[in-house]
Every structure is written in structure tokens, then in C-alpha cells.
Amino acid sequence: MPKKYSIDVTPTPPRYPPVGKFEIERGENCINCGRCAIACLYDVHKRQEEDPRCMAEPVDYRCKGCFSCIQECPREALAIRENKEYPKLGDSYWTPEIISSNWYQAETGKIPVSGAGYRGPFSGEGFDSMWTDMSEIVRPTRDGIHGREYISTVVEIGRKLPAIKFDAIGEIASPTPPALSIPLPIIFNTPPFGRYGNVYEAMAKAASYLGTFMIVDPDEWFKSEENREGGIGNRGHTSHLIPHISHLTPHTFEADLIKTCKMVELEYEEDVLGMVNEAKKLSPGTIVSVRVPFGDNVEKIVEELTYAGVEVIHLYADVNGQTFKKSLIKNASQQTFRKSLFIKDMTLNVHRHLVDLKIRDEVTLIVSGGIAMAEHVAKSIVCGADLTAIDLPLLIALECRYCKECLNNQTFKKSLIGNAPQAPQSCPIELKNANPEWGAKRIINLIGAWRNQLLEVLGAMGLREVRRLRGEVGRAIFIEEIEKETFDKVFVSPQYIK
Amino acid sequence: MISPAIKIASSRFPNEISEIEVKRDVSKCINCGTCAKVCPFGVHERKTGYNRVSKPLSYLCIGTSCEDNPFYCVNRCPRNALSLDISSEYSTIGDYRWTRDLIIGTWKQAETGMPLKGRRYEIGNSGGGFDRIFFNFPKDEDGIEDEDISTGIELNRRKGKKISIEVPFYGGGMSFGSVSLSVMLARAKAARAWGTFTCTGEGGYPEKLKEYDDNVITQVATGLFGVMEDTIQRVKIVEFKYAQGAKPGLGGHLLGDKVTPEVARMREAVLGSSLFSPFPFHSVYSVEDHKKHVDWIKEINPDAIVSVKVSTPTDVDMVAVGSYYAGANIIHLDGSYGGTGAAPDIAKKNIAMPIEYAIPKVHEFLKEQGMRDKMTLIASGGIRTAHDAAKAIALGADGVVIGTAELVALGCVRCGNCESGRGCPRGIATTDPELSRAVDVEWGAQRLINLYAAWRSEIVEVLRRFGMRSVKELVGRYDCLCYVDITRRK
């Protein structure tokens, strides 16, 4: 039995006070009695250090919204409201709840736990339109998180042979394609912004510790490393890199990369197969992945690539999980409009297409775009992905608020060429200055918490291996199907709100 | 018909959170006391012997709907010192499932025992399930008197001792450890007053609950903590907990430092050592194994009826039928959105299906298999209001189990920090000696008695409008419900 894989987490506090959900205001009629300090269990209220006769300003971000101080204050001097900055975190997909939950996980490495039931909407778009199943009595389940029975999160990247041929003396005669085994179904994608040397370094350190891989843009990676007189080879993380090569040129640097790395990724274009062959010629032992956008015709492209012998396909959607395929939707007033399909539905389509052709195991599918929470990893796999690649959560682990100031600023600067230079908007958490050691710990914590949540989901289903979850749509409850199955018997026809 | 006395049980906090904030500008107020004289709701008061008017009790104010009344304090104040505003607490409290109005409404019910009118006190804002299901009330009423309407249900529909409850709901399992002893006692007192049940959860049977034996359900869960022959013989209902909605398929874990001498004794465990409650029953992998457990209980206590608590996977209907063959009397479905104790967020949100789907699924399947009238179907996990309860019954349940609503009645604000740090900041879900002092048993029992009274009145009102004389008539009456498709709203 191989050594148990586990992720050691270390509490790693943020560098800046996080944006809390609540704001506490102390009114002027406060009599400094200190009742609030007794009522509060979270150290929001304290006396001033320099003058203990007075109460200090409340430390808002620690507030957990229990309302005890508000209700206990003999003078009604305290008021609570939602912090105005809180709803500004992220956007409608990367909600403030998702961002602060990931912060918590990056700080503590713990699974978010809370009491008194679920508090969110009944269901929603995309990943929120499905639930995962559990097994009740007859199927034995495993308790992975408390360590008594081991649940494996190992996944393989590479082609799986449908059958193996043996020669006369019993040796394997089939050519064995290269394969990588990684201990968890998560690799790191190139982040959409914030690609600073220190960020890459934190990611690389974390990937190396976790035993997973990170996809990097070799130009950027090389440049930033060179600036610091290291070069990738010297840092010992090369074995965890997947260079993403957009155009194969006879550049020696790229050839070297292909030879030194266990896996490379090529951008999909018309003649991609030629490039794949060339890369394979340079280094037959290197796994070559092709990066394909989730767009029109993606099923056909994946089919062709698989038939042509491509081992790994990385399907990507945008940062919000919206694919580049639009479908026509009718709204209430019978107007048709085009709407992007969500990554979960497209993953299902591709997976089912390959299953129908009986070639699903010949290719590994990596899916990325919009993976924002641990549950999205499990749900992507249920829908047919072998593993997922994540990007923005890595930056969130490094305290990013996804305020998009840096993005807006870049486009702003571009539009102002020739004009007076605008003062650059500063990143509120100065991502550029984050210490890579600190960053690596935060990323490791986040992934540790995500993996434990994946174990919870697998344990509830009675699965002992994440590989068995792939494409197991019977282990999921889709809202359209369950409504049809149950509510169609109950309600004759839905009525409209008048 | 039992009808315990309703007594006002005000909030235990000096400042109750309310929708309206009555503001008094102290620089303008001359303490004339006009407001105290005019307000019939007791918002303003000038205590005898005091020169000043007390601070306004905002939560008693009926808001701007008071405007046209001759006693509207804002108009009557000679100095224009009074104004009404939406309070900042009101804007901050609540979430999609338990909106601010549901929380404050439950508090009002617990304080006064009066039913509340208005959609905002009936549904939440989750955009699905019960929040999209409404009643199809007929236009005309039959004119049945409230006194003629029965809300009682029978819990055992198989052979054996009959057990009925006066209201179609009882309290869910909350263990000693997950809530304080005062909370357990308050629940037991309220259950006895209303002729219904409360449940010990998996954490032993505190001595002090003994006098409520006839109204207590004791739980046998996967860790078998605190399960003793004696406790099983004492009760009328024994509940097997296979899984719970908040964390379906996951084990429980009580941290070592929460295993205090008291907890350790009751759970027959070692002081200070972490306790795991595994998932699932490691001795039950088939209906036969399941039957063995049920038989064991019936051997020890032949009069007991057995309830089987399961969560809601896709094959929940099969599980229900399996429980029937194992000899269970009650199948208790615990939906995924409920639960009171701390659970991983990922489990609460994602694992297993919401109760709204599970009820008709099981109801239909039991009918098909010809055993619906032998099994009592109880639903829980997301029953927030009396209206949710009535909807669950119309979807096919016989009755419901409530948990969070009771905690809210005792002052929970659903902040969700049951487990962090020292424990529940509201003194409910904790055994911290200092924190748990916040809930007084008598006060808590009265709050729950009031809540039950309000719920019962609301259920009676639903039945009256449908022209039904018993809540049993409502079971599975899909025609009483309509499903509003918000996505197709015009």
C-alpha cells in the first residue's frame, strides 16, 4: 500500500485586515461600560490600550454577525450594518461569499463549517443547478476525512490503453504511452492576471509540495525568473511545470522545455497535430496536451484529436465558467436570445460524446474556467472531467479581492497611449509584494481544505477513489430531472406570478 | 384538546431587534410624556417617579402604518422630536432561506403566541421549493369553526401501541453538547404542554429529562453514544438515525475539549478524548441488518414504536420501503437544507436533495407499494414556518419535525457560529457554563409553547380555508398547492 497522501496545513494569517461582512458603529452615547466586550466572543470590542477607561473602535472584520453586543448594550449605542465594501468583492459569479470562504480556507486550511442549516438560494445557474448524491444504508461508505479508511484522490493524466498485448514470452508488447499520476484532481492554471514572479513562485512551491502541476507561459516564467538570476532549472520546480506553448518555433529554449518537462500544453489551431507530432518527436516521454476552447463544435474537435492520438485535452471556458458556445434560448415573451452554455453542461456533452464513440478512456480531459469552490471540482468530475485546472482561487488564496483594478488599469493605460501617464491604480493588497513562502502556505491550505471537502463528497457516496466519480451522473441530482420526476406528478402545470 | 396557556415571553435582551427604529431626538424632547400617553402599544413609557421618558421600545411599534391613527406619536409630539426609520439591524439580519421577516416573525410568535399574517412571514427568499409553492385556496369557505378542526396525527399506523400527537409536528434531535441542558429542558416542557415530542439526539439522556419520559424520543445513532437499555425502556419512541440532512453521509466529530466530565459520563466515553460518530451504521448493510436493529429495540421495549431517520439520496424511496420491511413505524426524511448543528458548508449546500422533492417521491412510492397507510411519513430539514409544515403535509407527509425554528424562538439569529471559539454567542447551542446561563428553562419553555400555539393557529387557518376538519385530510392533497414558475414570470 502506497504511503497515504495528506496535506499538512499551517495557519497563515492574511497580511491585510480582510474585508468583513459587517460594520459596527459605536455611537456617541456610549458610556464605556464594557458590556459589549463581555457579550462579544470574537474580540470585536476591547478597551483602549492607552486609556482603558474608554472603549476602542470596534474591530469590524472580526464580527460574525451574532448581534449580541447590539442587543446587550444598555444605551443602544451600537449599530450593525453590512460593510459597504463587502458586496463589492468580486462579482456576480465570484461572489463575496465565495471569496471570503476561500480566504478562510487559505488562512486556516480548514473546511468551512457553520450551523443552523443552509442559508443560500434554493438553486441557481450552472453548478448550482445540481446536487451530489449520497448512499444511505445498504452501500457502505467510508469516513475519509477522519482517516480511518483511505479515500484516494489520485488521478492519471495520459492515454489509457483499451487492452494490452503480450508477446510470446509474456512481456508487454503494446507501446505504453507516458502517464502521470497526480495525487489530487486539481492542477494550477495560469492566472488571468497578477502574473508576477512572486506569485508564480508561490504557485510553484505549492505545486511542488502538493505533487501537482502548474501550467505556465514559458516566456513570462522565464523572464521573471531570469530577472532574479535563477532560471527554472535551478529552482527545482521544473518537474511540476506544464509549459503552455502557443507557437512551436525551432527555438532551442522550447525544445529544451519539452525535453525537461513531463508534460507540455499546446494551443489548439488548425495544424496542431503537426505540432503534437513534432513535440513527440523531440521527447516521446513527454505528455502533450492540447488546449481547446469550449466553443462551437468542441465535441467534434475533441473526437478528431482523440482519434488522432492526442492523449490529453484541456478544455477551457472563461473565468466565469461560461463557454464560447451560444445556444438559442426563449424567454417569457417568446423572444429568442443567445446564451452561453455553462461549463458543466458542455463537459457533459463532450464526455457523453466520447462515451458514445467508446473512446472516452483514450483521452484525459482537463476542464478549467469558473472552478471557484471545492464542490465545483467534484461536480466537474461527475459531469465527465478527469481533473480540473484552477486559476483565480490561487490568487484569492493570496488575498486577491478580485476588484479588477489591475485589469481595468491595463486597458485604461492602453487606451491612453501618447497622453499624459495616469497614476497606476494600486492593488489594495499589493499582490506584487507578497512573500512567496507565505503565498505557498496559503495555497497549500486552500487546496488542503478543498481536498478534504472532496473527500466529504466522496465519502458520502461511498466511493473510495475519485477516479470512479468521473462521469457518474447517477451520483448527481440535476434540478431539471428531479423536478420532472417529482413535481410533474404533483403540479399539473406551473402557474405564473400575476 | 390540550391548549396550554399563552403568556407573553419577551426577548431576553434589553434591545430587541425590530424592523422599525423609533428615534427620539434628545435635544428636542422635553419629556412631556405625550407619546407615552398616546401610544397604545407601549413603545413609549414614562415610569412613575421618573422625570424622563424611557427609551422607546421600538420592537413594539407597528411602523408607518400607524400614520393615520390619532395616536401616531410622530405627529403628536409637540416638539417633533420623534421619527421612524428602518433599523440598520433589520437590514442586516437574515439570509435567503431565513429572511429577516421570518426570523423576526418567529420571535414575535414566540413572544406573543399569535399567528402572523402576510406573505413575508410565510415564505423565504430562496427562489425555490416551499418559497415557490403556494396554496390554492378556494374562494368560498365552508364556515367550519376553528374549534372543530383537529391538528392531531397518529404516529403508529401499524400493529402495537397507538401514539398520537396533538399538533402535526415534534422537535428534532439535538444532543446534549450541541445544545445546553436548559434548551433541552425547555423543549421537553413545551412538548409536554402541547402533547407532542422532543428528541434527545445522539448524546445521551440527561437525568433531568426523566420526568418528561412520555414526551421524549431517544435516538440510537451510529456512534451509539449514551444508548442504554434503561433509556430505551423509558420512552415511547426510539429513533434510529441513519443520516441527517445537514451532513448526509458524513460522520460527526465532537472535539476532545468539548467532552467535559458531564458529556463523557452521559456518552459513556473517556473525558477529553475526541468522539467520532461514524457513517453509516457499521453493522447495517442490508434491510435484514436493519430489521435486526429494530427487533432489538422491540425486544427491549415491546411498547416502543420505531422511527427511522434518513436523509434524502436519489434512492430515498427504496430506503423508505426497506424501513417498512425492517419493521419501522415512522419514516423520517431529513432534507438537505435544514439541520441545526454545525456541518460542513459543502454538505449542507450540495449533498442529497431538498425535502420538497423527497416527500412526494417517497409518498408516491409507498402508495405504489401499497404500504402508505402503514407508515407514518415525517419530513424535516427546512421547515421554517407553519406554512412550510402545511405544504409539506400537502406534498404527502403526515407531519413534520422542526429544529431551527425552535432555536430561533429561543433567540438564535442564525449567525451560524455554533462551533467557533467558545461556542454559540447566543447561549443556545453550547454547554459552556457561562454562555448557557443565558437561556432560562421556564422562559424558553414559554417561548416554545407560544411558538407552537402560533403555528397551530396558522395550520388551523389553512385547514379552515380548505374546508377540512382534520390535518389528516390534507396529506398528499397536491390539488391544494400550486407551483409558481418564477422564471416564466411576466
Q: How far apart are CA B210 and CA B227, in angstroms?
A: 15
Q: Residue A179 and residue A311: Cα distance in Å, rounded?
A: 9
Residue A236: is its pLDDT beyond 60?
no
Name the one residue in this structure whose C-alpha cell is 483521452: A363
Domain ranges across chain B: 20-91, 146-488
CA distance B360 to chain A (A): 6
Q: What is the torsional sign of CA A160, A162, A168, A173?
A: negative
Same domain, yes or no: A52 and A162 = no
Query: Which residue does chain B place closest to A134, by CA atoms?
Result: B313
| pLDDT confidence tier of residue B488, bands split at 50, 70 and 90 | very low
CA B182 – CA B198 distance, rounded (Å): 13
Residues A448 and A314 grouped into a single domain? yes
B255 vs A: CB within 8 A: no
Question: CA quadruple B28, B29, B32, B33: dihedral positive or negative?
Answer: positive
Kindly indicate the confidence band of residue A321, based on its pLDDT and cuts at 50, 70 and 90: very high
pLDDT of residue B143: 82
User: Are B251 and A461 inside 8 Å of each other by CB?
Assistant: no
**A73 and A168 part of one domain:** no
More confident residue, B212 or B422: B212
Cell of A359: 473512446
Contacts A76 to B, Cβ<8 Å: 15, 55
Which of A322-331, A459-468, B14-23, B198-207 is least confident?
Answer: A322-331
- The long-range contacts involving B29-35, CB below 8 angstroms and separated by at least 24 positions, are B29/B53, B29/B77, B29/B79, B29/B81, B30/B78, B30/B79, B30/B81, B32/B78, B32/B79, B34/B73, B34/B76, B34/B77, B34/B78, B35/B73, B35/B76, B35/B77, B35/B82
CA distance A81 to A58: 13
A246 and A352 housed in the same domain:
yes
Contact yes or no for A113 and B412 at CB 8 A = no
What does the alpha-carbon distance between residue B302 and residue B151 come to, in Å, rounded to a whole number?
Answer: 28
Share of chain A above pLDDT 90, in %: 65
From the list B97, B303, B42, the residue with the least C-alpha distance to A123 is B97
Domain boundary among A84, A113, A130: A84
Long-range contacts of B371-374 (CB under 8 A, 24+ apart): B371/B321, B371/B324, B373/B157, B374/B157, B374/B158, B374/B324
Residue A461 inside a domain? The answer is yes
Put simply, whether B21 touches A (Cβ < 8 Å) is no
Query: Which of B89, B95, B424 has its CB closest to that of A67?
Result: B89
Q: Looking at CA atoms only, how far is residue A362 from chain B in angstroms?
A: 31
Mean pLDDT in chain A?
Answer: 87
- What is the homologous superfamily of the domain B146-488 according to CATH? Aldolase class I (3.20.20.70)
Alpha carbon distance B306, B160 (integer Å)? 11
Q: What is the 3-state secondary structure (H, E, C) of A64-107?
A: CCCCHHHHHCCCCCEEEEECCCHHHCCCCCCCHHHHHHHHHHHH
In Å, how far is A458's CA from the nearest CA of chain B? 9
Residue-by-residue DSSP string for B53-105? PPPP-GGG--GGGGTTSTT-HHHH-TT--EEEEE-HHHHHS--SSS-HHHHHH
State the Cα–Cα distance between residues B312 and B350, nearest whole angstrom.
11
A121 → closest Cβ in B126, B395, B423: B126
Which residues share a beta bridge with A278?
Answer: none
**Chain A positions in Cβ-Cβ contact with residue B102 (cut-off 8 Å):** none
Tell me which chain B residues have a C-beta less than 8 angstroms from the C-beta of A141: 249, 279-280
Contact A151, A463 (CB under 8 A): yes
Can you tell me the mean pLDDT for B96-119?
Answer: 95
Instruction: Record the cell numbers describing residue A444, joined without a space.
Output: 497549500
Per-residue pLDDT, averaged over A400-425, amounts to: 65
The position carrying cell 466529530 is B253
φ/ψ of residue B135, rounded to 5: -85, 140
A172/A79 same-domain check: no
CATH number of domain containing A72: 3.30.70.20
Instruction: List, as one string, the DSSP characters of B356-397.
Output: HHHHHHHHHHHHHTT-TTTSEEEEESS--SHHHHHHHHHTT-
Q: Are B290 and B318 in contact (CB under 8 A)?
A: no
User: Mean pLDDT, to the nearest integer, of B18-32?
Assistant: 90
Q: How far is B147 from chain A (nearest CA, A)?
A: 31
Q: For residue range B190-247, what is the model confidence (pLDDT) as tens digits?
A: 999 999 999 998 888 999 999 999 999 999 988 888 889 999 999 999 999 988 888 8
Q: What is the DSSP string of A287-326?
A: EEEEEEES-TTHHHHHHHHHHTT--EEEEE--TTSEEEEE
Q: Which of residues 94-123 of B touch A (CB under 8 A)?
A: 95-98
Query: Residue with C-alpha cell 410565510?
Result: B122
Task: Identify the pLDDT of residue A88.
Answer: 93
Q: How far is B456 from chain A (nearest CA, A)?
A: 23
Tell me the mean pLDDT in the region A17-42.
Answer: 94
The cell numbers describing A56, all together, are 476602542
With a CB cutoff of 8 Å and minimum separation 6, the contacts of A387 are A155, A157, A182, A185, A186, A187, A364, A366, A367, A381
C-alpha cell belonging to residue B30: 422635553
Contact assessment for residue B199 and residue B216, using Cβ atoms and an 8 Å cutoff = yes
B418 contacts on A by Cβ (under 8 Å): 114-116
Provide, as residue numbers in chain A, all residues whose Cβ is less than 8 Å from the Cβ of B345.
Answer: 101, 111-114
- Nearest residue to B74 (alpha-carbon basis) of B86, B87, B61: B61
The whole-angstrom separation of Cα B168 and Cα B187 is 16
CATH number, residue A235: 3.20.20.70
Distance from CA of A113 to the nearest CA of B (A): 4
Assess B341–A contact: CB distance below 8 Å, yes or no.
Answer: yes
Using a CB-CB cut-off of 8 Å, the residues of chain A touching B415 are 64-67, 116
Q: How confident is the model at residue B425 (pLDDT cuts 50, 70, 90)?
A: very high
pLDDT band at A407 (very low <50, low <70, confident <90, very high): confident
Confidence of residue A147 (pLDDT cuts 50, 70, 90): low
Specify burial of residue B52 (Cβ count, 10 A radius: 0-12, 13-18, 19+): exposed
| Model confidence pLDDT, tens digit, residues B141-183 | 778 999 999 999 999 999 999 999 999 999 999 988 888 999 9
Confidence category of residue A498, pLDDT binned at 50, 70, 90: very low
How much of chain A exceeds pLDDT 70, in percent?
87
Average pLDDT over residues A200-209: 94
- Going by C-alpha positions, the residue among A275, A282, A241 that lies closest to residue A261 is A241
> Distance between CA A182 and CA A162 in Å, rounded?
21
Kindly report the length of chain A. 498
pLDDT for A133 beyond 60 = yes
Judging contacts by C-beta atoms under 8 Å, the chain A residues touching residue B487 are: 332
Q: Are residues A357 and A464 in the same domain?
A: yes
- A3 lies in a domain? no
Q: Which residues of B433-445 are buried (b: 16+ CB within 10 A; e: fewer)?
A: eebbebbebebbb
Domain count, chain A: 2
Enumerate residues 215 to 254 of chain B having a beta carbon within 8 A of any beta carbon in chain A: 242-243, 246, 248-251, 253
Extract the runs of DSSP E, i.e. beta strands, from A173-260: 179-182, 186-188, 214-216, 241-245
pLDDT over 90 (residue A445)? yes
* CA separation for the pair A152, A171 (Å, rounded): 29
Tell which B residues from 269 to 308 touch A, by Cβ distance under 8 Å. Answer: 276, 278-282, 284-287, 290
Residues of A within 8 A of B489 (CB-CB) are: 332, 496-497
For residue B379, give Cα distances in angstroms to A464, B330, B362, B397, B412: 31, 10, 10, 6, 22
What pLDDT score was predicted for residue A420?
A: 47
Q: Which of A69, A84, A118, A477 to mutate to test the interface with B (most CBs of B within 10 A)?
A: A118
Closest by Cα among A463, A471, A481, A475 to A383:
A471
Residues A169, A175, A177, A182, Cα dihedral to 10°: 0
In this prediction, residue B490 carries a pLDDT of 38
Give how far A426 is from chain B: nearest CA, Å: 31
Confidence of residue B489 (pLDDT cuts 50, 70, 90): very low
Name the average pLDDT for chain B. 91
Digit-coded pLDDT (tens) for B272-284: 888 888 777 878 8
Question: CA-to-CA distance for B325 and B295, rounded, in angstroms?
Answer: 12
- Whether residue A342 sits in one domain with residue A448: yes
* Closest chain B residue by Cα to residue A479: B353
Q: CA distances (Å), B375 to each of A36, A441, B157, B306, in order?
A: 51, 54, 6, 11
pLDDT at A228: 43
Backbone dihedral angles phi then psi of residue B295, each to the nearest 5 degrees: -60, -40
Q: Tell me how far apart the alpha carbons of residues A482 and A122 are, in angstroms, rounded to a whole number.
A: 14
Are B214 and B236 within 8 A, CB to CB? yes
Would residue A163 be called left, alpha or beta, if left means φ above 0 and alpha means ψ between -120 and 50 degrees? beta
CA distance A471 to chain B (A): 17
Q: Which of residues A48, A69, A84 is at a domain's end?
A: A84
Residue A240 pLDDT > 60, yes or no? yes
Structure confidence by residue, pLDDT tens digits, A250-285: 555 677 778 888 999 999 988 899 889 988 988 899
Whole-number pLDDT of residue A333 = 67
Distance from A456 to chain B by nearest Cα, in Å?
7
* Helix/strand/coil for B443: helix
Q: Which of B313, B341, B478 sits opposite A136 (nearest CB)?
A: B313
Give the model's confidence band at B383: pLDDT under 50 very low, under 70 low, under 90 confident, else very high. Answer: very high
Is there a contact between A137 and B421 if contact means CB atoms under 8 Å apart? no
Closest Cβ opposite residue B15 in set A76, A373, A494? A76
What is the interface pTM, i.e. ipTM, of the complex?
A: 0.92
Last residue of a domain, one of A84, A101, A122: A84
Return the amino acid letter for B366.
Answer: L
Q: Which of A71, A136, A142, A457 is best to mutate for the B interface (most B CBs within 10 A)? A: A136
Is A80 inside a domain boundary? yes
Q: Is the pLDDT reported for residue B487 higher than 80?
A: no
Q: Does residue B348 surpass a pLDDT of 80? A: yes
Rounded CA-CA distance A101/A446 in Å is 10
Q: Has domain B20-91 been given CATH number 2.60.40.10?
A: no
- Range with the lowest mean pLDDT among B290-294, B315-319, B417-421? B417-421
Chain A hits for B97, CB-CB cut-off 8 Å, are 117-120
Residue showing cell 411558538: B451
The closest of A348, A334, A340, A448 to A393, measured between CA atoms, is: A448
Residue B361 has pLDDT above 70, yes or no: yes
Cell of A270: 488548425
Read off the C-alpha cell for A126: 450552472
Encoded amino acid at A364, one letter: T
Does the beta-carbon distance from B278 to A101 stay under 8 Å? no
Q: How far apart are CA B60 and CA A461, in angstroms?
A: 49
Domain hosting residue A284, numbered range? 155-486
Distance from the A58 Cα atom to the nearest Cα atom in chain B, whole angstroms? 16
* B397 interface with A at CB cutoff 8 Å: no
What is the sign of the dihedral through the CA atoms of B28, B33, B39 and B42?
A: positive
- Distance from C-alpha of A457 to C-alpha of A435, rounded to nearest angstrom: 33
In the predicted model, is pLDDT for residue A248 greater than 90? Answer: no
Q: Give the ranges where B113-222 is alpha helix by DSSP (H).
A: 181-194
Interface test with A, best of B90, B308, B323, B350 (most A CBs within 10 A): B350
Chain A CB contacts of B251 below 8 Å: 143, 146
**Closest by CA position to A95, among listed A400, A361, A490, A372:** A372
Question: What is the model's pLDDT at position A145?
Answer: 56
Nearest to B344 among A76, A81, A111 (CB): A111
